[in-house]
Amino acid sequence: MAHTDHQTMRRELRREIAGTIGLLTDEHDFRTMRRYRSFTFDDHSTYLRQVESVLRSRAAQGTHTTLALFDPEDYAVYCAETGLDPESHTSRTRFTAELASTGPTVPYDGRPLDTLLPALVDEAVRQATWEYATTLLTRLGPCPTCGEDIGRAAFTRASDLLVRILDTAPPGDRHLVCSVSGPPDTLVSVLHGDQDAQGDTRLDEAEALEFTSVLALGLATRSPGGLVMRTSAPGTADQVYGWRMRTGAFEPLTASEVFDAYCTDAETGDLISPEPGVDYCEPPDLGEDRTGQGHHH
């Protein structure tokens, strides 16, 4: 009887333990890991099927599992810095545990792995974009004339703009895209907002932070860029409108400019048929820019 009770308790405790699996999402990373003799998989597709089988088994037992993006190059650096043997299974376990607290992760929720993989990669891109934008904002330092922190002031302005964009949007779910051009790369950030029954917009906090940081970077560095909003509601046509960023200013696009942007192939310049059920229109008035227009000293 006592032995059975102990087994039951251990089974219940296992359900309380959350786990993390470090996942090799593409063929290139998988091939890189094969340089370690202790990594015994030789086919990426088979590896993914085995991972999915483990995930389903853990879920059936009531165990929560988080998927983390396993980067072999980061793993090699981690082992070199910590003095761990990269051939050891224990080293990979420790590295994966670090990923659970610092790296991009998504929870396993029963969806097929080929659906979760893009979500995990998107999360990694989102985190890298946020870290890059934040680093650049921090490096701007204080204004040489007034002493105000340029990056912090731009973030405050971007936050205010985002609130006003959401407050003035027509009812429905929102999809926002912000792009900032500049050396060395163009940064693109996406923000989704679903409207609940009370009319409130629900935002993912991490998404909103990344989006605001990219917008702030464009404003602070006076880089060219733009922001496009699309709202969708049952029974009505989707509305698309936007703004351009230029020399630190935030300017509304005309309806024809929005139409041209959506109906022109970015790579070839060829015309694209307008999307049915979509109105390309001018944005609503955002009111006064209460945080000012940035530094022009």
Tens digits of residue pLDDT in 240-288: 999 999 888 899 999 999 988 888 766 676 778 888 889 999 999 998 7
Residue 112 to residues 58, 105, 118, 201, Cα–Cα distance (Å): 14, 16, 11, 28
**Can you read off the two tokens belonging to residue 70?**
């396993």
What is the helix, strand, coil percentage profile of the chain, to 5?
Answer: 45, 20, 35
Q: How far apart are CA 60 and CA 66, in angstroms?
A: 15
Task: Give me the residue label for tokens 């990426």.
Answer: 44
- 264 vs 208, residue with greater confidence: 208
What is the per-residue pLDDT for 2?
Answer: 47
Please check whether residue 20 is in contact with residue 66, taking contact to mean a CB–CB distance below 8 angstroms.
Answer: yes
pLDDT for res 266: 62
156-193 per-position pLDDT tens digit? 999 999 999 999 999 999 999 999 987 677 899 999 99
Q: Hunting for tokens 């022109």 — which residue is that? A: 264
Name the nearest CA neighbour of 251 among 225, 231, 233, 230: 225
Burial class (CB in 10 A: 0-12, 13-18, 19+), 1: exposed
Q: Is the pLDDT of residue 7 over 80?
A: no
- Amino acid 272: pLDDT: 80
Q: Which of 1-5, 73-77, 133-137 has the lowest mean pLDDT?
A: 1-5
Banded model confidence at residue 13, pLDDT cuts 50, 70, 90 = very low
| C-alpha–C-alpha distance, residues 271 and 266, integer Å | 10
* Average pLDDT along the chain: 86
Residues 6+ apart with CB under 8 A from 138: 151
What integer pLDDT is reported at residue 86 of this predicted model?
94
| Overall pTM surpassing 0.75 (yes/no) | yes
